[in-house]
Amino acid sequence: MAQENAPNKPVHLMFFCSGLLLFYILQWTVDWIWGYFTRAPNEFYITLGSAIVALSSGIYFYHHERTFALANEVAAELKKVVWPGAKEVRQATIVVIIMTIISASILGLFDFIWANITDFVYG
């Protein structure tokens, strides 16, 4: 039987996706900030630097005991979630659409009334 705290696919996926997200955020941010103050350097250097920082921080947090334990706890809690069925999702979607229409109608009515009042006051 598998060990309770053994890494599983969702934990690996969490670390991979967070590393990938960090890579893109770093790449776009460095490119934007550098380009704001002066001409941007070669795109290869920005990509390489972002990849090195994202990879090294991903490896660090993967091997960091507290972060890895937290990721395992999150994955264990997500396994306990009971997802709604198709019928429940359809019903909730219909409720959201109806409430959106009602809210938009009320706001539109208030806007219409307020526009007429301001036209009347300001002539």
Reported as a single tens digit per residue, the pLDDT across 33-88 is 887 787 767 788 889 999 999 999 989 988 888 988 888 888 888 888 898 999 99
Count CA within 13 A, CB hemisphere, residue 82: 1
Task: Provide the pLDDT confidence category of residue 4 given band limits of 50, 70 and 90.
Answer: low
- Decide which of 111 and 2 is more confident: 111
The predicted pLDDT at position 11 comes to: 86
Query: What distances in angstroms separate CA 48 from CA 19, 24, 32, 43, 67, one per listed residue?
Result: 14, 11, 16, 9, 26
> Which residue is it, tokens 């300001």?
122
Task: Provide the pLDDT confidence category of residue 7 given band limits of 50, 70 and 90.
Answer: low
Average pLDDT, the chain: 88
Tokens of 54: 């994202």
Q: Report which DSSP code applies to 38.
A: S
Answer yes or no: are the C-beta atoms of 72 and 7 closer than 8 Å.
Answer: yes
